[in-house]
Amino acid sequence: MKTAKSIQICGTGSGVGKSIITAALCRIFLQDGYQVAPFKSQNMALNSFVTEGGEEIGRAQALQALASRIKPTADINPILVKPTSNTRAQIIVGGKPVRNMSVYEYKDYKKLVFGRVKESFGRLRDKYEIIVIEGAGSPAEINLKSHDLVNMKIARLAGAPVVLVGDIDKGGVFAWLIGTWQLLSKGERKMVKGFIINKFRGDRRLLRSGITFLERYTGIKVLGVIPYLRDLKIPEEDSLPEESRKKSFSYGRKVKISVVYLPHISNFTDFDAFRLEPDVSLKYVKNCEDLDSPDAVIIPGTKNTIEDLNYLKSRGLADKIVSVFQSNPAAVLVGVCGGYQILGEKIYDRKNIESRNREIEGLGILPVVTEICSEKVLSQVSARHLSSGNEVTGYEIHHGRTKAKAGSKPLFEVVRLGNKKARRYDGVMSRDGRSWGTYIHGVFDSDSFRRHFINDLRRKKGWRVLSAIGNYSVDGEIDKLALAVRRNIDLGALYRILGCYPPSLNESRRLGKLRRI
C-alpha cells in the first residue's frame, strides 16, 4: 500500500496564485515520474466542474487533476462552498449539494464534516505517491483559525511541509510574507519550509536585498521567483483577470462578443477559448454604456438566477440587452445555463431554492419557462449541434428545469450523459436563429463549434468565413506553465523539503516505470 508524500501550497491571501502553482507542481512531479494528485479540502468558488461520476467540485481542482493526468473525483475537493449571497452559500459535500447555509450555520457544520475530509485524503494517500495540497486564502486569518478546515489543520493531518506563496504584482510582498509567517503560531511557523514569490515583472537582481533580508529574518529559503506569465491561457479560478475586465474592443477586423458580468456569475471559463481567436474581441460588460454595438451578447451562468435578473432590470441592462438585440438584425443573443433561463418568459422558484422571489418575468426572448427544483442536475454531456452537426462535450450544473413551448426548435441532441448513452434534446433556438440558450457548460471549448459560431457572426457582417484558427488545448498550456515554474524554482530544494529525490527524467522514460518513493 502506498503512503504518499505531501506538500501544501499556502498563500498570503486569495488570488496570489496558489491554484496555478499547485497545478504546475502536479505536472512537474508527473513529468518526473511520480503518480500525483491534487487536494483541496474546501474550496469557495462559483466556477465548478462535474466529474464523470456526476460529482460537483471546484474547477481549479479539475484543472489540477488534468495537470496530474488523473480523472477528477470528489476526493480531491470534498467540500465546495458556492456563495448565493454575502452571508449564505450552498454547501456541497462529496460532490453533492447538502443545503444552503448561513455563515454561522456552516461554521458549526464544519465539525461534523471533517471526517469526510479525512476519508477523502486517506483514499488519495493510499493511491498516489505525491499529493499537492492547496490551501485557501491565508493560513493566518485570525478570525478563521479556530475552525480552519483547509490550511494548517490539513497540513498537520497530512504531515505536509508548507510553502508560502506571495504575489509581488500586488505590492508589499516581503511585508506580506513576513506578516503572514509571524501571525502563525510557533509550531505552525516551523511547518513553513519555503517561500515562492509569484508574478514578478522586471529584473530579478532588484530583488536580491529583499530576498536576503527575508531569508535571514525567517530562516526560510526563497525557493523561486516566478515571472508574470502574461500569455498563459490557463483558466482563472474564481475571478476574471484584471485585463479581461478592462479590455476594450479593438475595432479592427474582429467580431465583437460581449459577456454580461453578473454579480453571481459562475463558470465564466466557458468563454476563455474566445481569447485564442485572433478575429474575436471579447469584452465583459457591467453597465449599459459598455454594451456598445456588439455582434453577440452572451448571458452566462449564475448561482442566483433570479437575483441576477433583478440586478439586470434595476440597472437598466435588461432593457439595453433587448434593445441592442432588436435594433440590430444581425446581432445574436445567447444564454448559457442561468443565462438560458433569463432569456425565457418566466422563472419560478416556489420553494425558494435560490431566492426569496417565487417568480419573475424573464426577458421573453425564448419560448421557455423554468422551474427551480430542489434536486440538482449534475452530469457530463456529449451532444450534437442540430444545425451544424458539430459535436460538443461539456457538463450540466443546474437546479432549473426548463420546458419549451410546443413547436420550439431544439438546439442540441444529447447523445451521452456521463458514461451512459442518451437521446434527448437540450436548449432552444429562436425561429430566426438569432437567439439560443443551452444548459451545456463548456460548449465553446469545442474548436469546431466555436468556429461555426464565429463564422456565423462573420457572415452576418458580410465577411468571408475562416477555417479553424484557435486550438483550445489547456493541457498544452499546463506544459508551458510547468516549464516556466521549473525554470524559475529550486526544484532540488523543493524535493528535499518533500522528503524524496527527483528521479532521472531520461531513466524514468527509458524504463517506462514510475519511481517509487
Torsions phi, psi for 333 (to 5 deg) = -125, 125
- 426 and 440 in contact (C-beta within 8 Å)? yes
- Is residue 264 predicted with pLDDT exceeding 80? yes
* The pLDDT of residue 240: 55
On whether both 23 and 129 belong to a single domain, the answer is yes
| Range from 112-116, 160-164, 290-294 that averages highest in pLDDT | 160-164
On whether both 188 and 264 belong to a single domain, the answer is no
Which of 442, 460, 478 terminates a domain? The answer is 460
What is the overall mean pLDDT for the chain?
91
Is 470 inside any structural domain? no
- 92 and 44 in contact (C-beta within 8 Å)? no
Question: What is the pairing mode between strands 359-361 and 391-404?
Answer: unpaired
* The pLDDT of residue 144: 87
Is 95 inside any structural domain? yes
On whether both 131 and 213 belong to a single domain, the answer is yes
On whether both 445 and 359 belong to a single domain, the answer is yes
On whether both 343 and 419 belong to a single domain, the answer is yes
Torsions phi, psi for 231 (to 5 deg) = -95, 10
On whether both 369 and 414 belong to a single domain, the answer is yes
DSSP annotation of 390 reads -
Q: Which segments of 184-316 does DSSP mark as H helices, in order?
A: 186-191, 208-218, 242-246, 305-314
**Residue partners of 309: CB distance under 8 A and separation at least 6:** 318, 342, 347, 360, 362
Global pTM exceeds 0.75:
yes
- Is residue 341 predicted with pLDDT exceeding 50? yes
| Sign of the alpha-carbon torsion through 496, 497, 498, 502 | negative
Q: What is the pLDDT of residues 18-60, one digit of tens each?
A: 999 999 999 999 999 999 999 999 999 988 999 999 999 999 9
Catalytic residue among 26, 337, 385, 399: 337
CATH number of the domain at 176, please: 3.40.50.300
Weakest-pLDDT range from 171-185, 211-225, 261-275? 261-275
Number of structural domains the chain divides into? 2
**Does the annotation count 500 as an active-site position?**
no
Q: What is the pLDDT of residues 64-89, one digit of tens each?
A: 999 999 999 999 999 999 998 888 99
CATH number of the domain at 349, please: 3.40.50.880
Is 202 inside any structural domain? yes
On whether both 48 and 190 belong to a single domain, the answer is yes
* Residue carrying C-alpha cell 485570525: 142
Q: Kind and range of the H or E element at 486?
A: helix 474-487
- Is residue 435 predicted with pLDDT exceeding 50? yes
3 confidence band (pLDDT: 50, 70, 90): confident
472 confidence band (pLDDT: 50, 70, 90): confident
Q: What is the pLDDT of residues 221-256, one digit of tens each?
A: 999 999 998 877 777 655 555 445 444 444 468 999
Is 517 inside any structural domain? no
| 388-402: average pLDDT | 96
Is 133 inside any structural domain? yes
On whether both 325 and 183 belong to a single domain, the answer is no
Domain interval for residue 378 = 242-460
Is 465 inside any structural domain? no
- Is residue 507 predicted with pLDDT exceeding 50? no
506 confidence band (pLDDT: 50, 70, 90): very low
On whether both 206 and 347 belong to a single domain, the answer is no
On whether both 444 and 323 belong to a single domain, the answer is yes
Is 87 inside any structural domain? yes
- Is residue 517 predicted with pLDDT exceeding 70? no
Catalytic residue among 264, 385, 399, 441: 441
On whether both 432 and 300 belong to a single domain, the answer is yes
On whether both 500 and 456 belong to a single domain, the answer is no
- Is residue 145 predicted with pLDDT exceeding 60? yes
- CA distances in angstroms from 7 to 46, 163, 182, 277, 416, listed in the order given: 26, 8, 20, 37, 38
**Does the annotation count 26 as an active-site position?**
no
Is 230 inside any structural domain? no
Which of 443, 460, 477 terminates a domain? The answer is 460
* The pLDDT of residue 275: 87
- CA distances in angstroms from 112 to 69, 76, 95, 117, 308, listed in the order given: 32, 19, 16, 10, 32
